[in-house]
Amino acid sequence: MNWLAHVFLSEQKIDFQIGNFLADPLKGKTWEDASIDMKNGMATHKIIDSYTDSHEIVSCSKRRLREKGLLKPVIIDLTYDYFLTKNWDEFCKTSINEFSKVFYHQANKRTPYFPNHVNIPIYNMIDRDLLNKYHNLNQLKASFERMDTRLSPRLKQRETAVSYFDNVVENIDLLEDDFLNFFPQLCQTVKKDLDHNKLKHWNL
C-alpha cells in the first residue's frame, strides 16, 4: 500500500498518521524524543506491509501484470491507492479532499517540533498534494512516470514503471476486484491493534 492507504489506516492522531507515512522514508527509525504515537504509527506501517506482501490476493494482482519484474510490488501499491481513491466513500466517512486537507494542516503544525530531516518528506507530501494524485488513470500513469525519475540508470535499462501502465489498464477490472476483496481484510487485520475509538473516520 502507498501513502494514502497508510495515512487512512491510522488512528486519528496526527503523530500516528505521520509515523505511518514516515516509516518508509525514514526506514522505520524514529528519533530520540519521538512521541509514542509516532512510534506506534511506524509499527502499524510494518504490520500493513507485512500483511500485504504475504497476501495471496496481492500476489495474484502482481501475476496479472507480467511473469517477472522487480517493480511489480510498487506498481501494485500505487494502483491500489488509485482504487482506494476511486472507492473512497465506501471506506471513509470523510471526503478525500477534506481528509487530506485536515491531514496536511495538522501535519504542518507539527513540523516545528520535528528534526529537519523528518520534515523533508512531510513538506514534500504537502507541497505536491501526494494524497490526491490517484483520481484517474492519467494521474496514475503520472505517478509511474514520477517513480521512473527516481530509478537508477541500471534499473531503468531493465524495466521502467511506466512500462507497466498498459498491463494495468488491460487488467484494470480484475485488479480492482482484487483490491476490493483484499482491502477490507487488511482493515480488519490492522484494526485488531488500534484504538477503535480513534477510527471513527472508517466506514468499516
pLDDT value of position 204: 80
**CB atoms closer than 10 angstroms to residue 54:** 9
* pLDDT single digits (tens) 23-82: 999 988 888 899 999 999 999 999 999 999 999 999 999 999 998 899 999 999 999 999
> 136's torsion region: left (phi>0), alpha (psi -120 to 50) or beta?
beta
Residue spans per domain, the chain: 3-195
- The amino acid that residue 46 corresponds to is K
Per run of 10 residues, the mean pLDDT along the chain (length 204 residues) is 95 97 91 94 96 97 94 96 98 96 98 95 96 96 95 92 97 98 98 95 90
Phi, psi of 168 (to 5 degrees): -65, -50
Q: Please answer whether residues 203 and 188 qualify as being in contact, where contact means their C-beta atoms are separated by less than 8 angstroms.
A: no
pLDDT value of position 67: 87
Long-range contacts of 119-126 (CB under 8 A, 24+ apart): 120/25, 121/21, 121/22, 121/25, 121/26, 122/18, 122/21, 122/22, 125/3, 125/21
DSSP state of 26: T
- The amino acid that residue 175 corresponds to is L
CA dihedral 153, 157, 162, 167 (to 10 degrees): -150
- The amino acid that residue 61 corresponds to is S
Burial degree of 161 (CB within 10 A; 0-12, 13-18, 19+): buried
C-alpha cell at position 162: 511506466
pTM of the model: 0.95
3-state secondary structure of 131: helix
pLDDT value of position 32: 86
3-state secondary structure of 135: coil
